[in-house]
Amino acid sequence: MSLKVVRYKNYGCVMESEESKDPYDNRFFWSFFELNNGKIIDLNFTENLTNGVVTSIDYFLGYPKNELKTGKITEYKFGNAKPNTREFSNEFFNWFDACPPIKDCKELIRPTKDEKKCVKEFFDKNILKSKEVQTNIITL
């Protein structure tokens, strides 16, 4: 089966490093993707800046679902919050703040090479140029 994105939600830039005298800053963008294999992948796209200029970028992909050693499950669920609202921000940070430390997870499972490739290519083609724009759930 060829992997493809079936729906996604882009939260835009949800965090930035604090201003300091250090010339290095970061901007963190987050998106969530559901693939046709049923897996949900989160993408943290990070811009690394020096003196306000993007000097490098990083892609961090993971499954936004974890089973803790206690048996509790934490996971991201596509919510209906609308962009540019307090609920939209809360929707993201409720998930983010519930993310457990790795040491508390039963096991660490990462997306496959094919899943990462699918999401990264989709992001680069469809979201990268407008990564700041928050979206509703987009079903393809």
The residue whose two tokens read 């830039």 is 13
- pLDDT mean by block of 10 residues, the chain; 140 residues: 96 87 86 98 95 93 96 95 96 95 94 98 98 98
Task: Please report the pLDDT score of residue 20 as a whole number.
Answer: 65
Other Cβ atoms within 10 Å of 11 Cβ, number: 23
Q: Where are the domains of the chain?
A: 5-139
> CB within 8 A of 140, min separation 6: which ones?
4, 5, 6, 7, 8
Residue 136: DSSP 8-state: -
With tokens 């496959």, the residue in question is: 112
Tell me what pLDDT residue 41 has: 98
